[in-house]
Structure 1
Amino acid sequence: MNIQTERLEDHTARLTVEIEATRFEKAKQQAARNISRKVNIPGFRKGKAPYRILANFVGEEAIVAEAVEQLGEDVYKSVLKESDVEVYGTAELEDFTLEPLPTFKFRVPLQPSIDLNDYRSVRLDYEEPVITDEDVDNAINSLLEQHAVIEDSQGPVQIGHRVTVDIHGVFVDEEQPDEDDADEDHEAHDHEHDDVIDERLHEAPNYLLHRHDMQIILEADREIAPGFAKAMEGATLGELRTFELTYPDDDEEHGELAGRTVRFDVVVKKIENRTLPVLNDDFAARVTEQEDQPLTLLQLRMRIRENLEAAAEMDARSEYAWKVVDKIAEQATISYPEELVKDESNRLIDNAMRRMNISRDDYLRLTQQTEDDLLEQFHEPAIRSIQRGLVLREIIEREGIEITEDQLEKEIANFVVAQFGEEQAASFRTLFEDKAMRETMRTDLLQERVLDHIVAIAKGEAAQPQLTLEEEDEENEDENQVSIESEESEPVEDAEADTQGESE
């Protein structure tokens, strides 16, 4: 068997494989026997017709095709063992020729590869997150909302009410279905407002917002869109209210929504009055009564600031770490086949569908997209995910990052106590005797560890990685070679000195 490997630009390889003619002839004989068992040839029992008779009946091409299909898989398995290619996914049989020797041509996607280049030189400025008094005030207001007294209201909607709604918001500065058709459809279902909200999803799939039973507090500082609370004022239970709002042309505040006009269809399902508690030391003591020493309002504000700062620091470091990973990926040399991108796109799509609790078919039907549209939508995120994963994997290997059994046990113990408390820790600890649970925990810890290390690299704070035994041997060989070369050069220098002395 003769194998030739041609690496192609799309990170695939073409494997050209010549086999002995006798091997293919045996495959044809076996293929003929298989075919003869399936066809009825006049004058012969199934499986008993001679090769020549069978070839005349079904055609030589059919026998060759059967032989290629049966033999191709065995040939390909042998090629994988003998060649130096690392294959990702399924091979494609591009061509088969009989002359001068039976020859298979396989096209195979290759495993992704990465060269990090000088990744340790990557630097990125880090901005410490800042928690303002306004952030603390917002957190306290949220705490007040959690302890508010809520009462149903039968009256019309007022500013300050909490309303439960079904809502659909669609951009009206894009092409929409014919208005006459939409109006007729609306009239036909005007008595079923719940249906109207879902019908709007079919009419205009490129929507901003589509939610059922969404709770909204109608205050100016927490609006979905500027003017939303005012537009809802006076609405009654069961009413379908339709209105258009335009976001101010302010990119800094509204980003991609700046200057866009949105039509909202809102069905009012519930109206509630809110009575907030008085913000004082009594309130602070009430919300911290489970602690050893209830807090005063000042202490509560300090506690909230500390918690916000800790959360902000965690988020900032995570965002910073992924930015560094992306920057490392930009200067790295990364190759991967398109099959990997498609597989990763499907994985991300499946995850998204699970989060939305909807099947892929239902999502495509509701959004009026095709499978290709959906794959295209996730194409760039898939590439970013692949590149990030390759960077992390390579740095883990290059830097010798690992999670030992002792470290894993310690983290599991801390996690169980934090989640379930000291008294129940032992009971829940048994969950992590499951191998899959342990590996999930190990993977999470490993990602956390490598991201922390990447942050240190970008800040110039990371220590040099320890050399492996193989790398130490290579370094020692290099030093020995330099020493030998140095010793060999010394006699030359001495000879030059002696020559100079004689001439003097």
Structure 2
Amino acid sequence: MNIQTERLENHNARFTVTLEPSQLEKAKQQSARKLSQKYNIPGFRKGKAPYGVVQRFFGEPAILEDAIEILGNDVYKQALEESGIEPYAPGQLENFEADPEPKFTFMVPMQPTIDLGGYRSIRQPYSEPTVEDDQVDKAMRQLQEDQALYEESTKPVEMGNRVTMELYAKIVGEEGAEDATAEAEHTHEEGEEHDHEHDHEHAEGEEHDHEHTHAEGEAHDHEHGHDHDHGLGGNEFIHEHSAVMVLRDENEEPAPGFRQAILGAAVDEERTFELTYPEDEKEYEEYAGKKAEFKAKITKIENVTLPSMNDDLAARITEKEEKPLTLLELRMRTRENLQESTKQQAKSNFAGEALDAMVDGATIAFPEEMVEDQTENYLERLDQDFKRQGLTLEDYMRITGKQRDELKKDYREVAIKNLKRALVLREIRQVETIDVPESAIDAEIDKMLLQFGDQAASLRGMLDTPQMRENIKNDLMEQGTLDRVVAIAKGEAPALNAPA
């Protein structure tokens, strides 16, 4: 047996394996015996028909096909062991030649390789964020709105109302690839910043968007038979069946001018209009300077009666706590929570920028199969997101007129970007020997159980399972690696192999 290994530019390996003719003949004899044992051949008991009879009965191609399979598995394993190559996925038989000598050609996608280069020399400027009084004011107003009295109104929309609507928006003149990129970049993958807090309860000082808060008692439309052609024909970056907004100048809106565009609308009235985002990339990111088409159908209008901002309100908000807070104490805690969440967001953004710089300085190679797997994962998650809105990926493809391959093409660029980030992050974790002790997993489980109060003890068994512990460990290891990325970029990382 002669094995030749060729490493290709696309991070695949090609094995060319040449055998002695006698090895193929032996495999053909085995193939013929298998066929005679499996099938009835007239005049012979199963497994007793001679080779020539089997050949005439089934034909040489059938015997050869099975012989190639018999030989191929063993040949591939030997080639893999001899080459020392670690495959990312099973190899494929690319070609077989029987003459003049049996020759197998296999194509094997290889595991990715990452050279981090001088990643430890990366430095990024960092400034500690501050919380301004207007941010605290806004958070306090949100808490006030949470305690408001809402009464349905029959009058047209006016400022101060809470409005529930079907809301759709898309960028004018774009075909959707950018939307796919934006959606994928918000899908959690290893190497992307995400919030590792498992407690998603709204707390004082945490940002939350009233535009996408569903009113109490309202149901989402999750019927898959619902006609979703009421949107804007696909490519929407907003597709909400029950978007909710409280119309106040200090509250956020989907785009500048949106509130004014729906003023005066009645229940069941539908309005379509265009708004242009200001040229402010820091504020509006990928939408800066672009024109968007909006469609809003009003489904409910409510008058809002806000409670007075006083100690009674603070006591009502914190009534389940051991000691209810005064308004001043609530404001102080709100500022502290905002400071912490702002700090965490700034740290997350800083980690992302530092990681991207490390990716730019690294040498990374991976096979196309990894990109294919990444894009398939995105489409699966996109399908799950659509199902939560009462749609399916098939519905989206029908609305947009796109085939699956076209969607995968839309996601390709961001799949490659996030794949590189994930691979670099994984390599940093290995080089920096980031690990998570069992005590840290226990502490995280305790933290998760805090939100359940008196029921925590009874729920521990649901969270303290091998699978859940493994998931928590992976999350903590990723966060630990991102913390190390931050430390490196600040110039504060410990020396390699030094105690963390």
TM range (shorter): 0.7 to 0.9
Distance in 2 of aligned mates of 1:244 and 1:392: 41
Equivalent residue, structure 2, for 1:204: 233
Distance in 2 of aligned mates of 1:441 and 1:196: 38
Q: Tell me, yes or no, if the aligned pair for 1:220 and 1:227 is still in contact at 8 Å.
A: no
Q: Tell me, yes or no, if the aligned pair for 2:255 and 2:275 is still in contact at 8 Å.
A: yes
Residues 1:309 and 2:342 are matched in the alignment: no
Question: Shift of the alpha carbon at 1:343?
Answer: 0.9
Q: Deviations over 1:337-394 (max 9, x none)?
A: 1101111221232223223325433332233221112212222332233222222322
C-alpha change, 1:170 and 1:87, in structure 2 (3 Å) is: closer
Q: Deviations over 1:174-200 (max 9, x none)?
A: 699xxxxxxxxxxxxxxxxx9998224
SS of 2:332 mapped into structure 1? helix
The aligned runs of 1:317-396 (5 Å cut-off) are 317-357=347-387, 358-396=391-429
Residues 1:272 and 2:272 are matched in the alignment: no
Distance in 1 of aligned mates of 2:301 and 2:368: 52
Residues 1:460 and 2:491 are matched in the alignment: yes
Equivalent residue, structure 2, for 1:488: none
Equivalent residue, structure 2, for 1:22: 22
Question: Shift of the alpha carbon at 1:122?
Answer: 1.3
Distance in 2 of aligned mates of 1:13 and 1:439: 33
Distance in 2 of aligned mates of 1:337 and 1:316: 34
Distance in 1 of aligned mates of 2:159 and 2:439: 57
Opposite residue 474 of structure 2, the aligned amino acid is T
Equivalent residue, structure 1, for 2:268: 238
The aligned runs of 1:150-299 (5 Å cut-off) are 150-173=150-173, 198-201=228-231, 204-221=233-250, 222-248=252-278, 251=281, 253-299=283-329
Distance in 2 of aligned mates of 1:101 and 1:371: 42
Instruction: Report the structure, 1 or 2, having the larger helix content.
Output: 1
Name structure 1 gaps, 5 residues minimum.
Answer: 177-193, 469-504
Q: Tell me, yes or no, if the aligned pair for 1:241 and 1:267 is still in contact at 8 Å.
A: yes
Q: Tell me, yes or no, if the aligned pair for 1:167 and 1:197 is still in contact at 8 Å.
A: no
CA RMSD in angstroms, aligned pairs only: 3.1
Distance in 2 of aligned mates of 1:262 and 1:196: 25
TM-score normalized with structure 1 length:
0.80
Opposite residue 461 of structure 2, the aligned amino acid is T
C-alpha change, 1:256 and 1:424, in structure 2 (3 Å) is: closer
Equivalent residue, structure 1, for 2:211: none
Equivalent residue, structure 1, for 2:452: 420
Q: Percent identity?
A: 46
Distance in 1 of aligned mates of 2:171 and 2:358: 38
Q: Tell me, yes or no, if the aligned pair for 2:24 and 2:102 is still in contact at 8 Å.
A: yes
Question: Shift of the alpha carbon at 1:204?
Answer: 2.3
Equivalent residue, structure 2, for 1:188: none
Q: Tell me, yes or no, if the aligned pair for 1:166 and 1:197 is still in contact at 8 Å.
A: no
Equivalent residue, structure 2, for 1:403: 436
Distance in 2 of aligned mates of 1:121 and 1:290: 50
Equivalent residue, structure 1, for 2:179: none
Question: Shift of the alpha carbon at 1:289?
Answer: 3.4
C-alpha change, 1:344 and 1:463, in structure 2 (3 Å) is: same
Distance in 1 of aligned mates of 2:240 and 2:161: 19
Equivalent residue, structure 1, for 2:477: 446
Q: Deviations over 1:210-236 (max 9, x none)?
A: 221221223445332333333322222
Question: Shift of the alpha carbon at 1:131?
Answer: 1.4
Question: Shift of the alpha carbon at 1:22?
Answer: 2.0
Query: How many positions carry a matched residue from both structures?
Result: 448
Opposite residue 382 of structure 2, the aligned amino acid is A
Q: Tell me, yes or no, if the aligned pair for 2:364 and 2:420 is still in contact at 8 Å.
A: yes
Equivalent residue, structure 2, for 1:75: 75
Q: Deviations over 1:33-82 (max 9, x none)?
A: 45567889888888776544554566534432332133212322333334
Opposite residue 309 of structure 1, the aligned amino acid is Q
Opposite residue 465 of structure 1, the aligned amino acid is L
Distance in 2 of aligned mates of 1:322 and 1:173: 30
Q: Tell me, yes or no, if the aligned pair for 1:170 and 1:204 is still in contact at 8 Å.
A: no
Question: Shift of the alpha carbon at 1:324?
Answer: 1.7
Q: Tell me, yes or no, if the aligned pair for 1:197 and 1:265 is still in contact at 8 Å.
A: no
Opposite residue 412 of structure 2, the aligned amino acid is H
SS of 2:228 mapped into structure 1? helix
Deviates more, 1:379-388 or 1:49-58: 49-58
Q: Tell me, yes or no, if the aligned pair for 2:229 and 2:399 is still in contact at 8 Å.
A: no
Name structure 2 gaps, 5 residues minimum.
Answer: 177-222
C-alpha change, 1:75 and 1:308, in structure 2 (3 Å) is: same
Equivalent residue, structure 1, for 2:192: none
Q: Deviations over 1:79-116 (max 9, x none)?
A: 33343110111211111122443121101000111121
Distance in 1 of aligned mates of 2:370 and 2:300: 48
SS of 2:266 mapped into structure 1? coil
Q: Deviations over 1:314-352 (max 9, x none)?
A: 111122122222211211121111101111221232223
Distance in 2 of aligned mates of 1:234 and 1:264: 16
TM-score normalized with structure 2 length:
0.80
Opposite residue 12 of structure 1, the aligned amino acid is N
Distance in 2 of aligned mates of 1:407 and 1:256: 38
Opposite residue 66 of structure 1, the aligned amino acid is D
